[in-house]
């Protein structure tokens, strides 16, 4: 089973690109902290993430450098040959689901989202076309406020 779950911070503002056939895509890097023992210095892995179509548009519209996000997806590997003839190998995570992990005010960085910190998300595999239209129009009115932690039963 090829399934990846990551939580980290985006290292730069994502840039929306389009293929020659007009399909939206974005490729960005997520800094994911490693688990450390007490007293050790913090370390992070920098993982390349790829998102396609409406999900790419969603990421580029609502996320910016420093924003914390959760991603589920799958690992894809590949290779290519450089101009000098050497072979290079790539490893990327193709995102299936992208979620907010904090509100805009918690992150202290850009972005257009002003909702809650309880994991609002966009799922690429969803069959309902309505969310894509909502995200592309910039309307965040469909996000609802969640109760504070004091009101939760756990």
Which pLDDT does position 4 carry in this prediction? 97
Q: Rounded to two decimals, what is the model's pTM? A: 0.66
Nearest CA to 49 among 81, 110, 7?
Answer: 7
Where are the chain's structural domains?
4-35+42-140
Predicted local confidence at residue 141, as pLDDT: 56
What local confidence, expressed as pLDDT, does residue 124 receive? Answer: 52
First CA to last CA distance, the chain: 31
Q: Which long-range contacts (CB under 8 A, 24 or more apart) does 102-107 make?
A: 102/67, 102/68, 107/66, 107/67, 107/68
CATH of domain 4-35+42-140: 2.40.50.140
Placement of tokens 């996320």 in the chain:
63
- Give pLDDT, residue 110: 42
Per-residue tens of pLDDT for the chain, all 154 residues: 999 999 999 999 999 999 999 999 999 999 999 988 888 888 999 999 999 999 999 999 999 999 999 999 999 999 999 999 999 999 999 999 999 988 766 555 444 333 333 344 555 554 433 333 333 344 555 555 555 555 555 4
Return d(Cα 61, Cα 30) in angstroms, integer: 16
């Amino acid at each position: 089973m090829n399934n990846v779950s990551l939580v980290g911070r985006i290292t730069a503002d994502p840039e929306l690109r389009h293929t020659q056939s007009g399909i939206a895509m974005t490729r960005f890097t997520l800094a994911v902290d490693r688990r450390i023992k007490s007293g050790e210095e913090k370390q992070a892995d920098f993982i390349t993430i790829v998102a396609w179509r409406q999900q790419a548009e969603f990421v580029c519209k609502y996320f910016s450098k420093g924003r914390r996000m959760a991603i589920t997806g799958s690992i894809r590997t590949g290779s290519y040959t450089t101009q000098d003839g050497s072979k290079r190998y790539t490893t990327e995570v193709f995102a299936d689901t992208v979620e907010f992990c904090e509100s805009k005010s918690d992150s202290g960085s850009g972005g257009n989202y002003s909702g809650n910190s309880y994991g609002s998300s966009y799922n690429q595999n969803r069959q309902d076309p309505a969310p894509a239209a909502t995200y592309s129009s910039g309307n965040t009115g469909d996000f609802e406020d969640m109760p504070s932690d004091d009101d939760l039963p756990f």
